[in-house]
């Protein structure tokens, strides 16, 4: 995305500006792309119905050869690669919809594809030069090569800027010499194409040499590249996870991706878009197990009634449906912003990842609860769904780190107003890359408004609640900045509340946009169910926003911290009932 991109809807919201023109009407695939997507989905279903056995994959902890081979032969490894490099050239929106479908068959299959397309080869697509693309993309599209993304190291997880892998230029040999190791790399056991992030000594303008992160294409056939044994995992067992080692690997100069020293920005930009695939795939897994749970509760009788007739079961079903509806509204709005190519979507993609992965985690757990003891048995899909879903809040940026990212980048937008503070805020979030590149002045140029456009009258309550709580959110941002000053960077519990409020507000407005657009297309009578979902979600959301904003000023943070410090000091829970 270009540096001149307009800042995101949510960043502007931190400054009290509602840029609803970005989000209305709700976007939609072109007819042609929707038709192509239907064909691709049918092809996948036909293949997967016969070939993918999630229970077996989980037990054997690997994808059968026929599954991987089929994915390659049918072109699924090239879904997002442009047609000129032999891929299908799907938009991000269509791609995420495909991941949603694939995830319903098996979490390991969707992760294998996601690690290849969403992150493994993404840096090549976004930052590679024409020669690099011509050389590798056709092979990656056909699956002759499978890609992996290599950032994490034993000493560098969330703090990815702390990587130790090094690439040193050797002018005599005409290549970089790469040394180091990467941990828990998806597709690591069999990938042949690695996007590797390593530190490179670079001469600064003042003549001082500093280590900066650069990105490289490394292939398995290079002497000195090896992978470790397959990790035994809790879930997503069909996916391959392994360490990758680089020992004096000679990486040709022409394999550098993007500019030297810009690797961290590349790594973060890849994850920004990758997170949308993860969010969509995560919900796809939930929808599949939800379907099975619904079938079960409709036929299982207790107390002479089927389970679906009990209020507490109805509550779970209704809640899961509301949560999926709102999360999807966020995700497909954001994929469309990405497809537009001129809007900063980094905050929104992090929000989608946080919300969708937590909705999924809660949802699969509730599905298991609804089917009772049967859900605990290995022969049914529920326990596997719980195990599979657990990874999502951890990888591609843990949800804690992403909440910090959302809050601090939003606050930075506002903090520019107090320029000194803005400078201080940049420090700790530099690790997230990209933040300082967007035109922060853009928001100031806009006429400030806290209203959104007129929507259909049946959505008036959500609209008014959005406006009220968006305004209160902005006031809370101001108070948080004024009360905490530079210390806001250490106040993670406040950051968490601001991030959660921002997520709910984004979910509210995207859900309103989706339903309003639908009503305009089909008429109110045909949209009663969606109107009900939108109203229910917005009502829950504004109450959460209110609670989070109240707790910015009135909270038990100091007590919680003190309790935490004495428990940590003791080394375990220190009390016993007398
Ligand atoms: C199955 C699997 C597949 C993976 N695939 C890949 C891959 O393909 N490529 C790749 O590069 N990596 C991959 N990873 C690595 C993954 O991205 C990391 O596990 C993740 O970034 C978290 O790092 P960590 O595990 O070292 O946790 P840590 O960074 O040690 O964090 C531990 C906990 O502390 C929290 N924490 C850390 N810092 C803070 C803070 N400042 N404030 C509050 N809380 C904080 C975290 O949120 C987390 O809850 C994979 C991991 C797994 C398990």
Query: pLDDT digit string (tens) for 213-261?
Result: 999 999 999 999 999 999 999 999 999 999 999 999 999 999 999 999 9
**Where do we find the tokens 């089917």?**
371
Q: pLDDT class for 553, splitting at 50, 70, 90? A: very high
Q: pLDDT class for 423, splitting at 50, 70, 90? A: low
Instruction: Decide if 247 is catalytic.
Output: no
The CA 387 to ligand 1 mean position distance, Å, reads 17
pLDDT in the model for residue 2: 44
CATH code assigned at 175: 2.40.110.10
C-alpha distance from residue 139 to each of 185, 226, 447 (Å): 20, 21, 49
Work out which ligand 1 atom sits closest to the CA atom of 233.
1
pLDDT in the model for residue 243: 98
- Cβ–Cβ < 8 Å for 146, 192: yes
Same domain for 155 and 166, yes or no, is yes
Residue 459 lies in a domain: no
The CA 222 to ligand 1 mean position distance, Å, reads 28
The span from the CA of 224 to the CA of 221, in Å, is: 9
pLDDT in the model for residue 204: 86
Question: Which of 107, 152, 156 to mutate for ligand 1's pocket (most ligand atoms within 8 Å of CB)?
Answer: 152
Same domain for 108 and 46, yes or no, is yes
pLDDT in the model for residue 421: 55
* CB neighbourhood size of 312 (10 A): 9
Same domain for 60 and 74, yes or no, is yes
Q: Report CA 299 to chain centroid distance, whole Å.
A: 36
- Angle, CA 354 vertex, CA 350 and CA 360 arms, to 5°: 140
Residue 132 lies in a domain: yes
Q: Among the three residues 100, 131, 146, which one is the final residue of a domain in this structure?
A: 146
Work out which ligand 1 atom sits closest to the CA atom of 151.
11
Same domain for 217 and 153, yes or no, is yes
**pLDDT at residue 115 greater than cutoff 50:** yes
- Angle, CA 332 vertex, CA 326 and CA 336 arms, to 5°: 145
pLDDT tens digits, one per residue of 298-357: 999 999 999 999 999 999 999 999 999 999 999 999 999 999 999 999 999 999 999 999
Query: Which among 53, 68, 70 is positioned nearest to 381, based on CA atoms?
Result: 53
Q: Report CA 140 to chain centroid distance, whole Å.
A: 23
Same domain for 225 and 179, yes or no, is yes
The span from the CA of 120 to the CA of 354, in Å, is: 21
Q: Three-class SS of residue 316?
A: helix
- Cβ–Cβ < 8 Å for 538, 465: yes
Same domain for 142 and 152, yes or no, is no
* CB neighbourhood size of 234 (10 A): 10
- Partners of residue 227 on adjacent β-strands: 244
Work out which ligand 1 atom sits closest to the CA atom of 239.
1
- Ligand 1 pocket, CB under 6 A: 115, 148-152, 157-158, 184-186, 233, 241, 391, 394-395, 398, 400-401, 492
Same domain for 180 and 228, yes or no, is yes
Helix (H) or strand (E) holding 89: none
Q: pLDDT class for 433, splitting at 50, 70, 90? A: very low
Same domain for 124 and 158, yes or no, is no
CATH code assigned at 130: 1.10.540.10
The residue contributing the CA closest to ligand 1 atom 44 is 400
Return the structure tokens found at 432. Answer: 């997230």
Q: pLDDT class for 578, splitting at 50, 70, 90? A: confident
Work out which ligand 1 atom sits closest to the CA atom of 236.
1
pLDDT in the model for residue 414: 75
- Partners of residue 58 on adjacent β-strands: none
Return the structure tokens found at 338. Answer: 């990405």
Residue 413 lies in a domain: no
Determine which one of 328, 358, 366, 396 is catalytic.
396
Return the structure tokens found at 280. Answer: 């969509």
Q: pLDDT class for 419, splitting at 50, 70, 90? A: low
% of the chain beyond a pLDDT of 90: 90
The span from the CA of 316 to the CA of 270, in Å, is: 35
Residues 6+ apart with CB under 8 A from 508: 326, 462, 465, 466, 469, 537, 538, 541, 542
pLDDT in the model for residue 426: 58
Domain holding 94, by residue range, is 27-146
Q: What is the mean pLDDT of the chain?
A: 93
Same domain for 141 and 153, yes or no, is no
Q: Among the three residues 260, 295, 317, which one is the final residue of a domain in this structure?
A: 260
The residue contributing the CA closest to ligand 1 atom 48 is 398
Q: pLDDT class for 4, splitting at 50, 70, 90? A: low
The residue contributing the CA closest to ligand 1 atom 39 is 401
Q: pLDDT class for 205, splitting at 50, 70, 90? A: confident
The span from the CA of 148 to the CA of 548, in Å, is: 38
pLDDT in the model for residue 422: 55
pTM across the whole model: 0.95
Residue 175 lies in a domain: yes
Same domain for 131 and 32, yes or no, is yes
Sort strands 209-219 and 225-227 into parallel, antiparallel or unpaired: unpaired
**pLDDT at residue 445 greater than cutoff 80:** no
Q: How many domains does the chain have?
A: 2
pLDDT in the model for residue 180: 98
Q: Among the three residues 230, 260, 290, which one is the final residue of a domain in this structure?
A: 260
Residue 110 lies in a domain: yes
The CA 357 to ligand 1 mean position distance, Å, reads 15
pLDDT in the model for residue 418: 53
The span from the CA of 119 to the CA of 139, in Å, is: 16
What is the chain's Cα-based Rg? 24
**pLDDT at residue 440 greater than cutoff 70:** no
């Amino acid at each position: 995305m270009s540096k001149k991109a307009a800042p995101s809807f949510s960043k502007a919201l931190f400054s009290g500006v509602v840029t609803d023109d970005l989000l209305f009407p709700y976007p939609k695939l072109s007819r042609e792309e929707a038709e192509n997507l239907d064909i691709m989905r049918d092809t996948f279903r036909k293949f997967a119905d016969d070939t993918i056995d999630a229970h077996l994959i989980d037990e054997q902890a690997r994808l059968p050869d026929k599954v991987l081979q089929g994915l390659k032969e049918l072109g699924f490894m090239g879904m997002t690669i442009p047609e000129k490099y032999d891929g299908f050239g799907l938009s991000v929106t269509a791609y995420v919809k495909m991941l949603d479908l694939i995830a319903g068959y098996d979490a390991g299959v969707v992760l294998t594809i996601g690690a290849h397309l969403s992150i493994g080869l993404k840096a090549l697509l976004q930052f590679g030069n024409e020669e690099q693309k011509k050389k590798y993309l056709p092979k990656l599209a056909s699956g002759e090569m499978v890609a992996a993304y290599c950032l994490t190291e034993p000493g560098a997880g969330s703090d990815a800027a702390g990587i130790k892998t090094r690439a040193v230029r050797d002018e005599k040999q005409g290549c970089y010499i790469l040394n180091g190791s990467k941990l828990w790399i998806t597709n690591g056991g069999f990938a042949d194409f690695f996007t590797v992030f390593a530190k490179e000594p670079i001469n600064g303008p003042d003549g001082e040499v500093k280590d900066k992160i650069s990105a490289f294409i490394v292939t398995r056939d290079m002497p000195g590249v090896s992978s470790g044994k397959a990790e035994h995992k809790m879930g997503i067992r069909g996916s391959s996870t392994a360490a990758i080692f680089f020992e004096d690997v000679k990486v040709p100069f022409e394999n550098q991706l993007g500019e030297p020293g810009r690797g961290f920005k590349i790594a973060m930009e890849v994850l920004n878009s990758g997170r949308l695939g993860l969010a969509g795939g995560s919900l796809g897994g939930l929808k599949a197990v939800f379907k099975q749970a619904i079938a079960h509760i409709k036929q299982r009788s207790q107390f002479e009634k089927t389970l679906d007739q009990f209020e507490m079961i109805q509550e779970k079903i209704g809640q899961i449906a509301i949560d999926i509806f709102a999360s999807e509204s966020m995700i497909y709005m954001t994929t469309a912003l990405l497809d537009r190519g001129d809007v900063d979507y980094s905050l929104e993609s992090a929000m989608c990842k946080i919300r969708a992965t937590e909705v999924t985690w809660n949802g699969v757990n509730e599905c298991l609860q609804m089917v009772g003891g049967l859900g605990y048995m290995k022969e049914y899909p529920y326990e596997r769904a719980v195990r599979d879903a657990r990874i999502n809040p951890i990888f591609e940026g843990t949800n804690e780190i992403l909440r910090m990212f959302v809050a601090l980048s939003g606050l930075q937008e506002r903090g520019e107003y107090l320029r000194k503070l803005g400078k201080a805020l940049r420090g700790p979030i530099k690790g997230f890359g990209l933040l300082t590149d967007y035109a922060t002045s853009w928001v100031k140029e806009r006429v400030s408004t806290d209203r959104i456009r007129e929507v259909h009258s049946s959505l008036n309550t959500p609209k008014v609640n959005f406006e009220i709580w968006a305004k209160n959110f902005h006031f809370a941002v101001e108070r948080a900045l004024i009360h905490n000053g530079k210390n806001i960077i250490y106040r993670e519990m406040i950051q968490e509340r601001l991030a959660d409020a921002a997520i709910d507000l984004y979910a509210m407005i995207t859900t309103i946009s989706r339903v309003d657009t639908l009503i305009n297309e089909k008429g109110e009578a045909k949209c009663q169910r969606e109107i009900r979902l939108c109203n229910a979600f917005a009502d829950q959301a504004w109450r959460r926003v209110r609670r989070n904003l109240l707790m910015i000023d009135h909270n038990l943070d100091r007590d919680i911290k003190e309790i935490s410090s004495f428990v940590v000091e003791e080394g375990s829970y220190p009390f016993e009932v007398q």
